[in-house]
């Protein structure tokens, strides 16, 4: 089997009968076992995956087609999958087997996808390093050139999905992004990760963290694959009241289309305090776009510094309310140490939630409580409105897309991360939360390697529903960066 195969290549191979979906699935299942120490998966149901692959093979044999037909895909353990345990990386849901399928995963099944397993993640998608999972940390397979002995984080919260794709344990994966959880791990792992416009993918059956910000998004090896995956998972769904009733364009068609004449904005506030290598990376990306016929424009978004604080009020506020349902009475694990109803709630939640989740629930409850609501929550919502207006009036009235960093730095060590304060960890999200707070689409594209030999990504943010335009420009960056070649130079220990 060819290494690091894309969806497009695997589809061609299946069509030409170079291999069957069964063989392809078996190949990845073996690799998952071989590289089990990466801890990329929480649940792998081999039999189920192989049965599904066989069904795909008979469909292929009978001439059926589907954009993901027979393709092994990994699914973040945040999407409810009928009959397959769905934990959200939490002890409290460690025995939860949903009776329904999320719309996003159902859409992929309708297109013929073979689910290879449920991937590791930060508990309830809260984190930037995949270290808060009840099932243990997930690791980046790549190592620093300067010290290959250090184990690095894949980013989070979709760290398992990123490692599964980057370590070639599947062809592509789906994650979720509330404040950067698709784009940040994509950047750390040398992958493409897109968070679509809020409302493009249905949230039905996706375990809620912060409902007004949550969006599903693909993690893939190429921009073309991201377009294929998004095509599959996007679409209106009446079961999600915030689902956007729009016509989904043909995303794949836009990959490779000319970008001549496009205006790309560079935002002053995103350059504050950047490392020299990130400045250089952005400079190169800018140059590639100019060579492809784009014009770059410098602009200022003054609300930028307020975005992270607003996010860390709004997201915990919604989380505190969403997580109230895990009470030990319904679908959760129940503590055995209780004497009455109150202690059943208290003991179940004390045992079932990890430290970071408790921190968010406490923060969220505090900012929503009488007396603090106006000072924190209402204020954060006002800031959110200002941020949205800022993008609209001062960015997208002048330019087509923005070119900004995805992350302040590259992947860091697991040890280092355990010494970070919560606020230091939250600072990882400074460039990604803006797209969530404003409901805009954002993509991270691998653009180069750091001096340490680790992947680095750049981010493109666009106006609402302009994913097709994002794919066009992302594809230029991908081609110019030649990351495929660079990837071969990254150290794997």
Enumerate binding residues for ligand GLN (CB under 6 A): 125-128, 157, 176-181, 209, 315, 429
User: Which of 90, 128, 133, 157 is an active site residue?
Assistant: 157
In the complex, the smallest distance separating the C-beta of residue 298 from ligand GLN, rounded to whole angstroms, is: 28
Rounded CA gap, 143 and 159, in Å?
15
- Token couple for 31: 């690799």
∠ CA(136), CA(113), CA(447), 5° rounding?
65
157 flagged as catalytic: yes
As measured in angstroms, the least distance from the Cβ of 356 to ligand GLN is: 8
Contacts with 392 (C-beta within 8 Å, 6 or more apart), sequence order: 463
Q: How many residues does the chain have?
A: 493
Q: Where are any strands of DSSP class E within 167-253?
A: 172-177, 192-195, 215-220
Report the residue number, 52 or 78, with the smaller CB distance to ligand GLN: 78
Residue 132: half-sphere exposure toward Cβ, Cα within 13 Å? 26
Q: Which residues pair with 177 in a beta bridge?
A: 215
Shortest distance, position 157 Cβ to ligand GLN, whole Å: 4
- Identify which of residues 242 and 451 has a Cβ nearer to ligand GLN in the complex: 242
Beta carbon of residue 182, minimum distance to ligand GLN (angstroms, whole number)? 7
Say how far apart CA 88 and CA 81 lie, in whole Å.
Answer: 12
Spell out the residues 6+ positions from residue 261 whose beta carbon is closer than 8 angstroms to its own: 293, 294, 295
Residue among 90, 158, 176, 181 flagged as catalytic: 181
Report CA dihedral (16, 20, 24, 25) to the nearest 10 degrees: 150
The partner residues of 185 in beta bridges, in order of sequence, read none
Residues 443, 470 contacting (CB under 8 angstroms): yes
In the complex with ligand GLN, the residue whose CB is nearer, 92 or 308, is 308
Residue 12 parent element (H or E):
helix 7-15
Task: Return the closest-CA partner of residue 361 out of 343, 383, 346.
Answer: 346
Q: What angle do CA 78, 33, 484 make, to 5 degrees?
A: 75
Give whole-number Cα distances, 266 to 112, 225, 461, in Å: 40, 27, 11
Nearer to ligand GLN, 106 or 157 (CB): 157
User: Which CB sits closer to ligand GLN, 22 or 431?
Assistant: 431
Angle at 330 between CA 328 and CA 331, to 5 degrees: 95
DSSP conformational letter for 404:
E
In terms of Cα–Cα distance, which of 71, 87, 99, 53 is closest to 9?
71
Distance CA 73, CA 341 (A): 42
C-alpha 323/C-alpha 366 separation (Å) is: 15
CB of residue 104 to ligand GLN, shortest distance in Å: 15
Q: With respect to ligand GLN, which residue has the nearer C-beta, 123 or 224?
A: 123
Q: How far apart are CA 278 and CA 283, in angstroms?
A: 8
Q: How far apart are CA 489 and CA 493, in angstroms?
A: 12
- Based on CB atoms, which residue is closest to ligand GLN, 7 or 152? 152
**Shortest Cβ 127–ligand GLN spacing (Å):** 5
Q: How far is the CB of 181 from ligand GLN (least distance, A)?
A: 3
Q: Which helix (H) or strand (E) holds 461?
A: strand 455-461
Residue 202's Cβ-count burial label (10 Å; 0-12, 13-18, 19+) is: buried
Question: Which C-beta is closer to ligand GLN: that of 28 or that of 209?
Answer: 209
Instruction: Please state the closest distance from residue 179 (CB atom) to ligand GLN, in A.
Output: 3
Pick the closer one to ligand GLN by CB: 6 or 161.
161
- Minimum CB distance to ligand GLN, residue 366 (Å): 16
Exactly one of 26, 31, 76, 464 is catalytic; name it: 76
Residues with a catalytic annotation lie at 76, 157, 181
């Amino acid at each position: 089997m060819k290494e690091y195969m894309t969806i497009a290549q695997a589809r061609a191979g299946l069509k030409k009968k170079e291999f069957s979906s069964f063989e392809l699935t078996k190949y990845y299942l073996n690799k998952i076992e071989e590289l089990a120490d990466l801890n990329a998966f929480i649940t792998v149901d081999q039999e189920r995956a192989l049965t599904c692959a066989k069904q795909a093979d008979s469909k292929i044999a009978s001439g059926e087609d589907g954009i993901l037909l027979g393709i092994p895909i990994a699914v973040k353990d945040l999407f409810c999958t009928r009959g397959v345990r769905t934990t959200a990386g939490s002890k409290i849901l460690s025995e939860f087997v949903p009776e329904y399928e999320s719309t996003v995963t159902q859409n992929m099944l309708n297109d013929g996808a073979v689910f290879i397993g449920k991937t590791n993640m930060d508990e309830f998608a809260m984190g930037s390093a995949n270290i808060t999972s009840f099932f243990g940390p997930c690791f980046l397979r790549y190592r620093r050139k300067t010290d290959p002995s250090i184990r690095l984080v894949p980013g989070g919260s979709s760290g398992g999905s990123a490692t599964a794709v980057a370590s070639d344990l599947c062809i592509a994966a789906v994650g979720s992004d509330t404040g950067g959880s698709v784009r940040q791990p994509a950047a750390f792992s040398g992958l493409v990760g897109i968070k679509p416009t809020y409302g493009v993918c249905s949230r039905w059956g996706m375990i809620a963290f912060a409902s007004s910000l949550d969006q599903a998004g693909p993690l893939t090896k190429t921009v073309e694959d991201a377009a294929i995956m998004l095509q599959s998972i996007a679409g209106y769904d009446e079961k999600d009241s915030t689902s956007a009733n729009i016509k989904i364009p043909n995303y794949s068609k836009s990959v490779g289309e000319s970008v001549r004449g496009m205006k790309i904005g560079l935002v002053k506030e995103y350059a504050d305090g950047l490392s020299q290598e990130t400045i250089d990376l952005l400079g190169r990306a800018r140059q590639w776009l100019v060579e492809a016929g784009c014009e770059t424009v410098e602009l200022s978004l003054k609300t930028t510094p307020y975005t992270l604080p607003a996010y860390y009020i709004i997201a915990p506020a919604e989380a505190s309310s969403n997580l109230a349902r895990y009470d030990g009475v319904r679908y959760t694990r129940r503590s055995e140490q209780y004497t009455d109803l109150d202690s059943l709630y208290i003991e179940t939640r004390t045992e079932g939630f990890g430290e970071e989740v408790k921190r968010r629930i406490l923060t969220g409850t505090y900012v929503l409580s009488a007396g603090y609501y106006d000072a924190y929550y209402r204020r954060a919502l006002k800031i959110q409105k200002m941020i949205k207006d800022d993008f609209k009036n001062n960015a997208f009235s002048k330019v087509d897309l923005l070119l900004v960093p995805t992350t302040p730095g590259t992947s860091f060590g697991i040890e280092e991360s355990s010494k970070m304060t919560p606020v230091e960890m939250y600072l990882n999200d400074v460039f990604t939360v803006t797209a969530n707070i404003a409901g805009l689409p954002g993509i991270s594209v691998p653009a180069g390697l750091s001096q340490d030999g680790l992947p680095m990504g750049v981010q493109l943010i666009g106006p609402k529903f302009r994913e097709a335009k994002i794919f066009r420009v992302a594809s230029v960056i991908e081609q110019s960066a030649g990351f495929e070649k660079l990837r071969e130079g990254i150290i794997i220990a």
